[in-house]
Structure 1
Amino acid sequence: MRQRIKAFFTYALFWYGFFMLSRLGFMAYQWQFSKELNLEEWLLSCLHGSRLDFSMVGYFLLLPGLLLLLTSYTGGKWPARIISVYTCLLIPIISLLTIVDMELYSAWGFRLDTTPLKYEPEAWVGPSDTWTTIKLLLIGAALIGGSLWVYFQKVRPVFQAIKTDNWKSSLAFLLLTAAMILPIRGSLGMNPINSGFVYYHPNKLFANHAAVNMAWNLMYALTHMNKLSLPKDYFDQEKSQELFGQIYQEKGKTVKLLKNQRPNIIFIGLESFTARLIEVLGGEKGITPTLNQLAKEGVLFDNFYSNADRTEKGIVASLSSYPSHPTSAVIKYPTKTLHLPFLNKDLKKAGYNTALVFGHNMNYVNFRSYFKNAGFDVMVDMEDFDPSTYNSEWGVDDHYAFERLSEEIENLQEPFFTATWTVSSHEPFKVPMETVIEGSDVTSKFLNSAYYTDKSLGEFIERCKKQPWWDNTLVVITADHSVAFAIPGTFNSTDKGRFRIPLIMAGGALAVHDTLIHTYASQNDIASTILGQLDLPHEHYKFGRNVLTDQPNSYAFYTFINGFGILSDSFHIVYDNVGKQYIKKEGKVSQKAMDTGKAHLQMLFTDMDDLDKPSLHAEHQPEK
């Protein structure tokens, strides 16, 4: 009996040690975040994280526990063989997932779950140089090799030494194995354990993320995959609508920036163009001379933010004024996007001719169904270009895409609306240009690719300025999202710089120049703001508002995995939906502000759940 108990708890200790070592390795690898933690916080992350470690150990002990039950009749040799095979399968799998998680966190800012499975393999990790690859392989080899050595030298012999025993021993182990439900469930209360149980720090998100057991988190996500779960309502519907309505209630009169009400409109979304790239927004010098010049020629919004951190989320926010779901994306559901409002559709009703030039891979994350639902008159995608123009599997080199955009504009009657999103400043950052920013590291490659995109944009703008329609054209330039990993000074979801992007209005149709707008706004406000300039209805964009009024509501809402943030003139708050708490309260934060954030999230969840229920979204019915 003692031999079996020793084997059982030796195996439990082995896996607990593995998870604890993995946690410390994760924290060491993410030193840019963990260096902000003191020794006590390091220890508390390990201590609180032990709850999920014990839960995962409980799962791993189920098979060995049942095999130990049989050793009462067979001895330990052949059960030890089965447990060895079982362990030799688990160690490499968990180790490889561990090193993926280590690197993935740098780019995505959350622990490994099923999110990567929703994207093409190329999107699973951020860009990495040769040294990073070697480093990860060495860590993985050390973790696998070291774990196997410990198992075969210290753990397996304990199983092999087990002798046969009486039936009472097997009964005892049946009860012991059944008792694993306690650490697995992790709680004696009504609710079983979840990752929020180990969130202990009131404002340091990384400390909480470090406490999460990656293997447990992934397993939980896999078992809940494709479930669009809604949180418990924070308020009753009437209260939620009242708070939400105060955010988007338009006040005052529209401040007109245009010479006339029906300009041509060229919308351009720049891949990964964080504000840190742009000199006029306090960013890097010499990377974006075109954007710097356009900002002086037109209107620059210096407190503008992305809706989330992925291209597909930024596109939907910009074109449909629809916020990102914290654990999903509406673009994944074609029956829901069918009922979204679209800027191009509203402009088409006003007499505009519309075209989309999308150099990306249209088959990625349901782009095709979304843009088909949008109903552009002309739609050009990656497949309409010669393969020699492709910069990678992601899409077409930017200067080719801009050339095609110029061609399509020439075929459109005025007034026209065109939309395009660039791709070259996406990893692997390969551009058809002589290198300007030297260096083989990720930062240099990213800056060089951004320089190329800005250069391609500049060439396009110069072509436009030579056309007779330029004096009646508004150019709207923003980014699809910011980026966290490519420029030193990595930001996480609690830092406003993580989501800050440009919004520039330029073109001959502008009546003002060298104008700076300080109002806080986000991609969700683009459609309503443009329509407001044209005196066109925009009330159906319920998650956006016209920010160009003489009484603007300065407010920007963004989401990240299982959380959201709100920025305004006076405060910045960040809410973690796993820990069920505000993890950042900066500035003059009132209870109403915090309630408003929750109401905003509640309205988003409710609305997204109702999107494919036509009776509730009659105003967005697809055209017959």
Structure 2
Amino acid sequence: MKRNLLFLSALYVATLLFMAIQKPVFMLYNAAEAPASPAAWASVVLHGLKLDLTVAGYVAALPLLLLLAGAWVRLPRRTWLAALDLYFGVVALFAAATFAVNVALYPHWGFPLDSTVLIYLSDPREAMASVDWATGVRQTLLAALYGGALWWTLHRIARRWFDAAPQPWRRALPASALLLLLCGLDFLAIRGGLGASVANVSKVAFSSDTFLNHAAVNPAFSLLSTLGERDDYAAAYPFFEPEELAARLEALVGDRQAPPAERLLATGRPDIVVVILESFARTIMDERVDGEWVMPRMQQLKGEGVWFENFFANSFRTDRGEVAILSGYPAQTRTSIMKLPAKCRELPSLARSYARAGYATEFIYGGDLNFTDQASYMYATGWQRLVWQKDLRFDTPAADWGYDDRVMGEFVAERVVDLARGGEPFLAGWLTLSSHTPFDVPYDRFDDKLLNAMAFTDDCVGRLVDRLKASPAWDNLLVVLVADHGYPYPADEPYDTPLRHRIPMLWLGGALAAPRTVETYASQIDLAATLLGQTGLRHDDFAFSRDIFVPRERPFGYYVFNEGFGAVDASGQAVWDAATGRLREGSDPELADLGRTLLQATYVDLAGR
């Protein structure tokens, strides 16, 4: 058994080293973009290990199973070794090909190798026509050298230590138990650890320099993890012909440079804080228990600022809600653009727009921003600084999702005050997390865990506002409170109804001219154009975002669920089900067509990215 443990250890370490060496070669090949700092190079290798460990776990999986079988099945050693040599050949060929192709394509594509390459490989002649002879020879030699060295190394490790000789059952049983334990550890390596977020490309993102994040990505992992993403997005919802779709979308969005008919701000260049509230549904905000508001602070604050009465989330997940809020991009039914790094890198964003106007941008989260590729999306869309759990140290222990909202609310308040002292305008973001299942919070107001957690975050947000009000930062501050999505409360509320997707949005701060209530129907995608319009900045690159204060013939809210969409306005609602191709609710064909236009246009746009 000792020999086999040495075999597995050597196999894992050797694979890890071969994966890691790809990073400096990649950076040498792209030296024009690579910074000269040795610390940057070291950071790429170190952060890249997160996915390299996962790939090494995949490579070790089959040898582990062969050892387990070898404890019970009598076969000549040369048979086991021949099987391993064949397997190592496949591993070496795949690793070498992805490495060499990634190095060659990156200068042209600007993003790590993923399943996009398969589109071009469907026509080998076209693929070869785009590769010049010198590049083809050079990359073939690189692949041969790398793949040959990897295969030979793993071959030698197996020859030296692999031992699959069958044993008496009294010795085979404990050996098998140990191997099963190692299988469990290998699964953890493949999964990416014990945390809430599994292995994904965002795991290695660490820098505001997109190139460094790309350099840290393991191309084999990137390709395999995106193989299921080759849907024909443009054909997913063929409601209208292309010309009609374009005309309908243009009429729906309207003039994206028209000035707003109403000004909410007393200043044209406020400091801005966007607080994204986890799962803050209107049904919960408007709930009372024994006569007490579940969210008394939100109820109080909505009379102090600009309250949006008829506002809707675009989806039911945080990753899609964030993109809708921060990029004005509609959510998708069966995928998430945040998990498609090659597609979301060119999305417009509030961070990028305000950075162009001279704002500093910073996003804060008390948990793991690797979850659902958030860090990758944030860096790609222009956030200059990310602060999250790995950067934070507090006396209190973190909960399941990260540091609770009371701890983070105090941190965010201090950070906003510090930014305001700097004299430079800023856009700061904060995503709360305590009002997320399992709803374990240091608070005891309601017996219902869900309502108690919501009440806790409500209290934390109130404390944040109180702290900012008491600071000099308040006079020039605009605070936008908006939920990432709704929540199925009450539990019998169907997941596809407008009520399920209705959420609060409230603007507060000394930068506001006066409090008021906005009755216009809108959704998260409209926040970007509205905020930019109020601060006098262009937003014509936000193709789907409509300024709430630019008059429209028929304002409406829009959302999607896993198999359909909903559209709602002052006259009614339309809920369309893709499974049946029919409206579940509503009979207004015009309102239904507004939803169809946005859904189809979203997927056509997604296909073109």
User: TM-score if structure 2 supplies the norm length?
Assistant: 0.60
| 1:550–1:482 Cα change, 3 Å | same
Q: Which digits, 9 at most, give the CA deviation of each residue in 1:308-362, with x for residues without a partner?
A: 0001111110000111111000001111111100101111111212111112311
Q: 2:426 aligns with which of 416, 426, 439?
A: 416
| 1:553–1:420 Cα change, 3 Å | farther
For residue 103 of structure 1, what is the aligned residue in structure 2? none
| 1:119–1:313 Cα change, 3 Å | farther
For residue 228 of structure 1, what is the aligned residue in structure 2? 231
Distance in structure 2 (CA, Å) of the matches to 1:365 and 1:383: 16
Does residue 528 of structure 2 align to residue 519 of structure 1?
Answer: no
Distance in structure 2 (CA, Å) of the matches to 1:406 and 1:121: 28
| 1:283–1:310 Cα change, 3 Å | farther
For residue 610 of structure 1, what is the aligned residue in structure 2? 608
Distance in structure 2 (CA, Å) of the matches to 1:390 and 1:495: 38
Q: 1:383 aligns with which of 390, 404, 412?
A: 390
| 1:497–1:122 Cα change, 3 Å | farther
For residue 504 of structure 2, what is the aligned residue in structure 1? 502
Quick check: 230-239 or 281-290, which moved more?
A: 281-290
Q: Which digits, 9 at most, give the CA deviation of each residue in 1:21-47, with x for residues without a partner?
A: xxxxxxxxxxxxxxxxxxxxxxxxxxx
Does residue 584 of structure 2 align to residue 583 of structure 1?
Answer: yes
Quick check: 337-346 or 408-417, which moved more?
A: 408-417
On the 8 A contact 2:368/2:401 being kept in 1, the answer is yes
How far does residue 280 in structure 1 lie from its aligned partner after superposition? 9.2
Distance in structure 2 (CA, Å) of the matches to 1:279 and 1:593: 27
1:334-413 aligned at under 5 Å gives the runs 334-386=341-393, 389=396, 391-412=398-419, 413=422
How far does residue 282 in structure 1 lie from its aligned partner after superposition? 13
| 1:118–1:252 Cα change, 3 Å | farther
Distance in structure 2 (CA, Å) of the matches to 1:560 and 1:368: 24
On the 8 A contact 2:478/2:512 being kept in 1, the answer is yes
Does residue 472 of structure 2 align to residue 463 of structure 1?
Answer: no
| 1:497–1:531 Cα change, 3 Å | same
The percentage of aligned residue pairs carrying the same residue is: 32
On the 8 A contact 1:274/1:479 being kept in 2, the answer is yes
On the 8 A contact 1:357/1:404 being kept in 2, the answer is no
Q: Which digits, 9 at most, give the CA deviation of each residue in 1:63-117, with x for residues without a partner?
A: xxxxxxxxxxxxxxxxxxxxxxxxxxxxxxxxxxxxxxxxxxxxxxxxxxxxxx9
For residue 247 of structure 1, what is the aligned residue in structure 2? 252
Distance in structure 2 (CA, Å) of the matches to 1:464 and 1:121: 33
On the 8 A contact 1:254/1:532 being kept in 2, the answer is no
For residue 238 of structure 1, what is the aligned residue in structure 2? 243
Does residue 308 of structure 2 align to residue 301 of structure 1?
Answer: yes
1:158-197 aligned at under 5 Å gives the runs none
Q: Which digits, 9 at most, give the CA deviation of each residue in 1:158-200, with x for residues without a partner?
A: xxxxxxxxxxxxxxxxxxxxxxxxxxxxxxxxxxxxxxxxxxx
| 1:280–1:562 Cα change, 3 Å | closer
| 1:240–1:359 Cα change, 3 Å | same
| 1:119–1:473 Cα change, 3 Å | farther
Does residue 445 of structure 2 align to residue 436 of structure 1?
Answer: yes
Does residue 518 of structure 2 align to residue 531 of structure 1?
Answer: no
Does residue 320 of structure 2 align to residue 313 of structure 1?
Answer: yes
How far does residue 577 in structure 1 lie from its aligned partner after superposition? 1.4
Distance in structure 2 (CA, Å) of the matches to 1:488 and 1:255: 36
Distance in structure 1 (CA, Å) of the matches to 2:361 and 2:291: 35
Distance in structure 2 (CA, Å) of the matches to 1:551 and 1:429: 40
For residue 451 of structure 1, what is the aligned residue in structure 2? 455
For residue 475 of structure 1, what is the aligned residue in structure 2? 479
| Count of residues paired in the alignment | 386
How far does residue 541 in structure 1 lie from its aligned partner after superposition? 0.8
How far does residue 420 in structure 1 lie from its aligned partner after superposition? 0.5
Q: Which digits, 9 at most, give the CA deviation of each residue in 1:537-565, with x for residues without a partner?
A: 11111111110235574111111102111
Secondary structure of the corresponding residue to residue 472 of structure 2: coil
2:526 maps to amino acid: D
| 1:232–1:310 Cα change, 3 Å | closer
2:350 maps to amino acid: L
Distance in structure 1 (CA, Å) of the matches to 2:248 and 2:506: 30
Q: 2:335 aligns with which of 323, 328, 336?
A: 328
How far does residue 245 in structure 1 lie from its aligned partner after superposition? 1.6
Distance in structure 2 (CA, Å) of the matches to 1:342 and 1:359: 22
Structure 1 gaps of 5+ residues are: 1-116, 125-221, 612-624
Distance in structure 2 (CA, Å) of the matches to 1:283 and 1:422: 27
2:550 maps to amino acid: T
Does residue 286 of structure 2 align to residue 276 of structure 1?
Answer: no
Q: CA RMSD in A?
A: 2.8
1:334 maps to amino acid: P
How far does residue 296 in structure 1 lie from its aligned partner after superposition? 0.4
Distance in structure 2 (CA, Å) of the matches to 1:553 and 1:252: 18
Distance in structure 2 (CA, Å) of the matches to 1:234 and 1:120: 44
Q: Which digits, 9 at most, give the CA deviation of each residue in 1:386-419, with x for residues without a partner?
A: 3764543322200111122123223323321110
Secondary structure of the corresponding residue to residue 351 of structure 1: coil
Distance in structure 1 (CA, Å) of the matches to 2:285 and 2:418: 33
Q: Which digits, 9 at most, give the CA deviation of each residue in 1:200-241, with x for residues without a partner?
A: xxxxxxxxxxxxxxxxxxxxxx9x943424325222111011
Distance in structure 1 (CA, Å) of the matches to 2:517 and 2:405: 28
1:25-64 aligned at under 5 Å gives the runs none
| 1:227–1:389 Cα change, 3 Å | farther
Structure 2 gaps of 5+ residues are: 1-190, 199-224
On the 8 A contact 1:341/1:540 being kept in 2, the answer is yes
Secondary structure of the corresponding residue to residue 368 of structure 1: helix
On the 8 A contact 1:382/1:395 being kept in 2, the answer is yes
How far does residue 478 in structure 1 lie from its aligned partner after superposition? 0.8
Secondary structure of the corresponding residue to residue 392 of structure 1: coil
For residue 436 of structure 2, what is the aligned residue in structure 1? 426
Distance in structure 1 (CA, Å) of the matches to 2:289 and 2:594: 30
1:432 maps to amino acid: P
User: TM-score if structure 1 supplies the norm length?
Assistant: 0.58
Distance in structure 1 (CA, Å) of the matches to 2:415 and 2:394: 19
| 1:450–1:260 Cα change, 3 Å | same
1:62-73 aligned at under 5 Å gives the runs none
| 1:296–1:602 Cα change, 3 Å | same
Secondary structure of the corresponding residue to residue 302 of structure 2: helix
2:429 maps to amino acid: A
